Amino acid sequence: MFFVVAVGGCGRVGYIHGDGSVPDSATPTDVGMDGTGPDSSGDAARDGDATGMDGGAEDSGAADVSTTDATTPDTGGCPLVCNGGCGAGECVIVGAMTSETIVCPAGLDCLVRCEAVDSCAGIIDGRAALAVEVRCEATGTCSDQIWCGDGACRVRCRVAGTCSSEVLCMTASDCEVRCEADNTCASAVRCAGGPCQVDCDGVNSCSTVDCGESCACDVACSAAGTCSSLTCTAGCTSGSGCSSLLDACNTC
């Protein structure tokens, strides 16, 4: 269960477990390679019954907010975690300057926008979403792991130093990671299963790329100091990167 918490005086919004705990950063072995996400089940309890004039019970419709979590819809049918709104089946989450985990709700596409300096500093967990897009567009954003789900996953690291922890596309049907600025994707990009495309356009970006278990892998290490550790699908190394155009390098 998750709450949206406003921190007085700072204009910040965070996401916390119902018991107040904050998830620890995980290693790849903690990710859950089966692609299952954290338990986010839970229905909002209803109370506040009032007795009508005829002595019968009348439902006041008041919600017990103590049971509200990321999957609980607000009055407009949009999960509360989707603070940027919902439209066309997509939940928009505008990340705050907090280290709390952001969890995309199940049953929707999920767009996480990290637009403020040092926002989205905690884990971004998209494993329950139908598809995930994460945009890291300000200094210091996306500094913890990004977990993709079973659907398509897009990650954009557009400002120097963003996406400094792992990007994990271990079960995604299709994964695209763009490390566009200098020193982006400084930890690792790891793909498995579906096709994987990683563009390392920034100087010293993509320190580690591992797509050896993907059905097709395309990695472009186009800038200086990129891809210091690179694992392609077997036999699919091409120049300084990986290519799915080579013989037997696309088994999707």
Q: How many structural domains are present in the chain?
A: 1
Distance CA 194, CA 204 (A): 26
Tell me the pLDDT tens digit for each residue of 111-139: 999 999 999 999 999 999 999 999 999 99
48 pLDDT band (50/70/90 cuts)? Answer: very low
Q: Is the predicted pLDDT of residue 3 greater than 90, yes or no?
A: no
Tell me the two tokens of residue 74. 């607000």
Q: Does 88 fall in a domain?
A: yes
Q: Does 117 fall in a domain?
A: yes
Q: Does 22 fall in a domain?
A: no
Tell me the pLDDT tens digit for each residue of 170-228: 999 999 999 999 999 999 999 999 999 999 999 999 999 999 999 999 999 999 999 99
Q: Does 112 fall in a domain?
A: yes
Distance CA 32, CA 147 (A): 10
The domain of 189 spans 2-17+65-242
Q: Does 168 fall in a domain?
A: yes
Q: Does 248 fall in a domain?
A: no
Tell me the two tokens of residue 42. 């839970």
Q: Does 217 fall in a domain?
A: yes
Q: Does 47 fall in a domain?
A: no
High-pLDDT (> 90) share of the chain, %: 69
